[in-house]
Every structure is written in C-alpha cells, then in structure tokens.
Amino acid sequence: MTKATGKTAAETTAKAATGAAGSRRAAGERLLEVRGVVQEFAVRGPGGVKGAVVHAVSDVSFDLRTGETLGIVGETGSGKSTLARSVIQAPRPKSGEVRFLGDDLMRQGRRGLIAARRHMQMVYQDPFGSLNPRWRVTQLVEEPLIGYGVKPPAGRRERVGELLDLVGLDPSVYGGRRPHELSGGQCQRVAIARAIALNPALVICDEPVASLDVLIQAQVLNLFERLRAELGLSYLFISHDMALVKQVSDRVAVMHLGQIAEIGPSEELYRRPLHPYTSALLNSIPGLDPSTGRVRRPAPMSGEPPSPIEPPSGCRFRTRCPFARERCAAEAPRLRELEPDRQVACHFPLDAADASGERSRAASVT
C-alpha cells in the first residue's frame, strides 16, 4: 500500500492526484486479464440445509486494454454484476484467473488486495444506497483518501475540492450537504468523485445511470467520457441497455446465463452480430426503419430464460435459439476467434447472409 509522504499540502495533493500513474501501462496494453472465471453460490433450503447451486458465472474470459471502455451487456440475471464483483474479488471466484496490472488477484492476500483496489474502483447503480446518509459530501469524498493514508488533512481537503470541481459540483455549495439534499444525478457525481479520488487505472461501472432520467443520464455519460480523456481511465461498463452500451463502448461483450456469447468492436458487433443471442437482443429493440421511416416494433425473444440453477446441457441458449441442432445439446461451444478481434461462442455462428437482416436494425440503435 502506497502512502503519500510529502511535507506540504501541495505535495500531498500532487501525489494523491498521480496515485496509480507509475503503475499504468501504455495505451492499448492489457490492463485486466480474466481467464476461466467461475462463480457459484449455494442455495440454502429449509432449516439452512445446503441445496442447489446457482451457476452465476461460468468459465468467462476477456481482456480490458488500457484507455478503453469494454461494455458488458445482457438480460437481467445474465451474471453481469456478479462478474464485476468477481473481478474485484468481492467475493473471490471459485476458480479462474484475474490479472490486474500484471498481478494475479486470485493469489493475493488481504494486504495485496487492498493495494490493488486502490487502482480499481467501482461506481454502483444506486447513487443513494452507495453513500452514507449521515455524512456530508466532503466527508464522503475524503473517505478513500483517509483509508489509504493520504495526508496531511490540509492536502486532503484541497484534493476533495479539486475532485468536486472535476465532476461539476461547486464545493462551496455542495460540500456541506448530505445525500438526501442532493438529486440522483448529483449523488452519482459524488460517487464518481469518490471513485476517482485515488486516481485509479480502472473504474467498474455497474449500471451507473440505470436509476437516472434520460437527461441526467446523458450528462453523467458525458462526464465519464471527459474523465476518461483527462485522467486516462479505463472502464468496465455494465448495462442491460444495448443502445447505451453502443454509445459508450469501444468493445462489447454480450453475456447470457453466466457466459460470454460474443465479444468484439462495438460498431462491428452491432452492425453484424455473429451469435444468435446478440441478434435476438438487437431484434428486441424498437427503432425506425431507415428505408420507410416507420416505427419498427421489437420482436420478442422466444421461450423463457433457463434457470441458472439448472442450465441446459451444451449451449445454454439452445432452448431459445432458432438455429439449434443436435450438437448444441451435446457439446458446449467454446469462445473462439472467428475474425480479428471478434470472438463467438457458437457452433453455428451467423454468417454475413444470416446477419444481413439485422444490419439496418443495428444501425438504428443510437
């Protein structure tokens, strides 16, 4: 754990502002490497007797590069939030490998995790629930600085003022307020200020704008993008909103029932999905037909989502897939690279002809 040791407030503030700078890598290098992560939870029955097992995350692998935003999208219950918490080891996955800044977090002890978490922070969905209702804004933003030994106090207070200015809140106006005296968007800005207080390399955003209205969503998303450019941040951006993920992400990973179905560059994935599940998600989005200008109704996905307690054999999407064959029930597909920087977990991926009907629909997703 690194501590600020400067003797003046200015030196302390400068060190706080550069927190992880020495640990960061050049743009485009691998910042986070996730390999074969599995997360399962036992379901307790009557009397506390151990019952079934929920397969929340099953053999998930992906990379996050320095300076990029990787979007993770999927239906509710697909394991997106559980994957995010598995990355920060809260709780630890059952198996797999999570390498951050070159270190395997699965092998780190308590001290090692505390040091690593200084450089990876999280912004949660509920801005009110993530903040202590009794604390004032300045106390909320200062807490991580105190926790990691950034001192003296004068330097911390100066840093808090800088952070509030950075997220668009006037310290003289909002510094003394408590969460119940703020709007949802203002609370989320406070949460973002806390997350970047130690200048992390990675910020994990778990549905960070889901509880905000559309206008405030746009403001917060613009703030995320500005901070990425100014501070050199990388984001793992989780959402169920396909259009929103396309807007903010460089690459997108599509999750289904605890597994990654497809991953690739945002524009290409939306223009030409290769997995039937990705295609079905795009079909479920209403939009305008560019050829006629008429509203296109969403096409609901057939069937009910399988249970994570008893997932189907083989491919977990086969019970709702219009292209499923015998092999899909007998053999689970592995995530494989079909094109440069595009990976798909499907025995019979959509080719250009199959996906052509989805291109105009994907193009309307904004």
For 14-57, write each residue's pLDDT tens digit.
333 334 444 456 767 899 999 999 999 988 766 555 678 999 99
Per-residue confidence band for 274, with pLDDT thresholds at 50, 70 and 90: very high
Least confident of 72-86, 155-169, 243-257, 293-307: 293-307
- How big is the chain, counted in residues? 366
- pTM equals 0.86
What is the spatial distance between Cα 262 and Cα 256, in angstroms, rounded to a whole number?
A: 9
CA 330, distance to chain mean position in Å, is 32
Mean pLDDT of 69-83: 94
Q: What is the pLDDT of residue 80?
A: 95
Under 8 Å between Cβ of 283 and 298: yes
Q: What is the DSSP letter of 290?
A: T
For 99-151, write each residue's pLDDT tens digit.
999 999 999 999 999 999 999 999 998 888 889 999 999 999 999 999 999 87
Residue 292 pLDDT > 90: no
Least confident of 212-221, 247-256, 288-297: 288-297
CA 160, distance to chain mean position in Å, is 25
Q: What is the pLDDT of residue 24?
A: 55
Q: Which residues contact 82 (CB under 8 A, 6 or more apart)?
A: 39, 56, 57, 258
Residue 327 pLDDT > 60: yes
Per-residue confidence band for 361, with pLDDT thresholds at 50, 70 and 90: very low
Q: What is the pLDDT of residue 262?
A: 97
What is the spatial distance between Cα 132 and Cα 126, in angstroms, rounded to a whole number?
A: 12
Q: What is the pLDDT of residue 19?
A: 40
Q: Greater confidence, 173 or 26?
A: 173
Report which of 155, 160, 164, 156 is spatially closest to residue 10, judged by C-alpha positions.
155
Per-residue confidence band for 253, with pLDDT thresholds at 50, 70 and 90: very high
Query: What are the structural domains of the chain?
Result: 9-27+66-85+107-249 (3.40.50.300), 253-363 (no CATH)
Q: What is the pLDDT of residue 46?
A: 64
Residue 239 pLDDT > 90: yes
How far lies 14's CA from each of 105, 139, 158, 204, 226, in Å?
28, 20, 10, 24, 20
